[in-house]
Chains A and B, each alone.
Chain A
């Protein structure tokens, strides 16, 4: 086996390993979704979804995250073709969108807690905060990872290994987007119905 073929084989293995990690993460989120679905009605006399959720705000959040999933795809294509500037610009846009998304989520949490509807108010709110914040933590880790990739690309020459790392980051980001689609549908759309 030549060196190049060996590298491809190693990358294949790493991709599969990372993919299996993502699948186990799916199971983690499934447990949180099930908890939320079961505790949806347990508001302990406090407000439920329809009173608490600001639907247009959440729609904007969703569209921002969807767009960032698209832009990281563009960065990926740029990297596969070897264009460093294109990759960096798209990555930077993705990073900015991710920061906006996370800030909006934190703002939403702060408003809820500020009004006294924190996770300690009811089982419904506990499960809501656990589910949405777990996704938020994943996004924060993804942003940290993305920052590392951006700085590396900026300061060093473009290498084949950078393309491979970026491919894994892309997988992670797309995966988080899919999880959010389910949070949007289950928690906000169905949970917010009057």
Chain B
């Protein structure tokens, strides 16, 4: 290998970090794929399993690839804020749309009143 062109100083980031991150990422991807393709669990449970595996992989990549927590503290703070906004946007949208869906089931107002009388105890 050619001589280094910059002063050779000790780097705090090591190869091991990337190798471990890579192996764990591939493993979690294959695990999620394996669960879904073979339909090992009922659909409802499977969705949560895939979600949890995705979050695990997010943490793996944040720690081993992006080295979150090293260096500027503001990186962690802005990340936490962005994560909060993301959760509000995604969960909030799903929540509100599910409610709207329920209130707009293809029914006439009379049918809806009857449905609510029968099912909601009103």
Contact = CB atoms under 8 A, between A and B. Distances in A.
Interface stretch (A66-74, A95-103, A135-143, A144-152): A66-74
B40 interface: no
B75 A80 contact: no
Contacts of A193: 36, 43, 46-47
Contact of A83 (B4, B53, B54, B92): B4
Interface string B23-64: 001100100110011010001001100110110011001100
B102 interface: no
Contacts of A190: 47, 50-51
Given A34-B89, A55-B37, A59-B33, A82 B4 contact: yes
Contacts of A16: 72, 74-75
Interface string A149-192: 00000000110100100000001001101100110111001101
B1 A85 contact: yes
Interface stretch (B13-21, B103-111, B112-120): B13-21
Interface string A13-28: 0011001100110110
Contact of B18 (A70, A83, A186): A70
Main SS at interface, chain B: helix
A76 B11 CA distance: 11
B2 to A, nearest CB: 5
Measured as residues with beta carbon below 8 angstroms from the partner, the interface class of chain A is: 35 or more
Given A81-B6, A83-B5, 18 more contacts: A12-B71, A20-B78, A26-B83, A27-B82, A37-B90, A59-B33, A63-B26, A69-B22, A73-B22, A82-B4, A83-B1, A86-B1, A181-B54, A182-B54, A185-B50, A185-B53, A186-B54, A193-B36
